[in-house]
């Protein structure tokens, strides 16, 4: 998906920001913090960027494949981009 400039919900201006993504999996709760999203300045709706989607998919896949040790709750914090 191309970067959103206008909110599909309210037409407000979208700004690039950081959000937190939480998903339930067979390995427990997976939380990914500090991930890029386009966030509406009016209504606050958040849309993950295509890159974030890929990143999440990759991390969740690794957890499910046991390549990354997981606990009841797994929290990842995305490092700031260089």
Distance between CA atoms of residues 50 and 70, nearest Å: 25
| Burial per residue of 1-19, b for 16 or more beta-carbon CB atoms within 10 angstroms, e otherwise | eeebeebeeeebebeeeeb
Least distance to Zn ion from the beta carbon of 23, Å?
23
Residues found near Zn ion in the complex (CB under 5 A): 7, 9-10, 12, 40, 42-43, 45
Least distance to Zn ion from the beta carbon of 2, Å?
17
Least distance to Zn ion from the beta carbon of 62, Å?
33
């Amino acid at each position: 998906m191309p970067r959103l400039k206008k909110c599909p919900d309210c037409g407000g201006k979208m700004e690039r920001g950081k959000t937190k993504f939480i998903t339930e999996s067979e390995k427990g709760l997976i939380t990914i913090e500090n991930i890029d999203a386009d966030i509406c300045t009016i209504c606050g709706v958040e849309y993950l960027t295509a890159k974030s989607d890929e990143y999440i998919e990759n991390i969740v896949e690794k957890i499910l494949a046991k390549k990354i040790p997981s606990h009841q709750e797994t929290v990842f914090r995305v490092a700031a981009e260089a």
